[in-house]
Amino acid sequence: MSDEMHADRIEGMPEPVYSELDRCGEVDVLEAAITLKRKLKMVLKGSDEHFIVMPIDLETRDGTEFLHYEADLERRSVDINTIATVEVFEVE
C-alpha cells in the first residue's frame, strides 16, 4: 500500500491480514493488490502451505467472487471463499 495516510489506517500499524477483515475489507485488500500490482502470500483453507501469487483480476460469477492470479507462469483462479489468509508479500 502507498505511504499516504488513510482514514482507516493508523500510521505505523501493520497492513491488515485478510483473515482479520470483514467481507468488504477482504475484497478491498485483493482489489488494492491488483491495482498496485503487489504480490500476495496466500494460504487456502485446509492447507498449511502458503504460495506467492500475482493477482490479476476479481470476477463475480453467479454470486461468487473469484480471484484470478498468476503463479509459476500459469494463470489460475480461486473462489475467494476458499482463501484462509492472504497478505501483501514483502521481500526481506
**For the chain, domain boundaries:** 18-88
Digit-coded pLDDT (tens) for 52-65: 999 999 999 998 99
Q: Spell out the residues 6+ positions from residue 21 whose beta carbon is closer than 8 angstroms to its own.
A: 28, 29
> What cell does 55 get?
493477482
What is the C-alpha R_g of the chain?
13
Q: What is the architecture, at CATH level 2, of domain 18-88?
A: Roll (2.30)
pLDDT of residue 29: 85
Digit-coded pLDDT (tens) for 8-52: 444 555 665 555 556 667 788 899 999 999 999 999 999 999 999
Distance between CA atoms of residues 80 and 33, nearest Å:
14
Q: Which amino acid is at 21?
A: L
For the entire predicted model, the pTM comes to 0.71
Bridge partners for 79 per DSSP:
66
List alpha helices for the chain, DSSP H. Answer: 23-36
